[in-house]
Amino acid sequence: MSTIFEKIISGEIPAEILQQDELCLVIRDIDPQSPTHLLVIPKKVIPRIGNAQKEDQATLGHLLLVAAEVAEKEKLEAGYRIVINNGSDGGETVPHLHVHVLGGRPMKWPPG
């Protein structure tokens, strides 16, 4: 069964797509946890970072570069946080790898 992100990638479900390229797309999170909350999602189905393979190295690097690029476009010059949740203890709810970009407010440490 395909995940919500696969359905967004295929166009089956609408989302606010900020940008996309051959490897990934960037959408706004539907339930934002900060004033700016973006998701960078690879088009390739990788369930979670723990399942990534050596062959995914370029895609993984690309996701982080795109995360920094969209953070700049969203004018998060005061800073932002990049999060990847892995597995149930990590808070993962959608089993399709995605990078959260959170900004627009000061973040706390340690995270909850």
Q: Which residues are catalytic, by number?
A: 98
Which one of 9, 27, 70, 76 is in contact with ligand AMP (CB under 6 A)? 27
With binding defined as CB under 6 A, does residue 70 bind ligand AMP? no
Q: Which of residues 35-64 bind ligand AMP (CB under 6 A)?
A: 39
Please state, in angstroms and rounded to a whole number, the distance separating the CA atoms of residues 86 and 67.
18
Report residue 65 CA to chain centroid gap. 12
Q: Whose Cβ is closer to ligand AMP: residue 7's or residue 62's?
A: 7
Question: How many residues in the shown chain lie near ligand AMP by CB under 6 A?
Answer: 12
**Which residue from 109, 107, 105, 60 is spatially nearest to 86, judged by alpha carbons?**
60
**Which residue from 98, 102, 100 is spatially nearest to 8, judged by alpha carbons?**
98
Please state, in angstroms and rounded to a whole number, the distance separating the CA atoms of residues 47 and 98.
9
The distance of closest approach from Cβ of residue 39 to ligand AMP in the complex, given in angstroms and rounded to an integer, is: 6
Binding interface with ligand AMP (CB under 6 A): 4, 15, 27, 29-31, 39, 85, 91-94
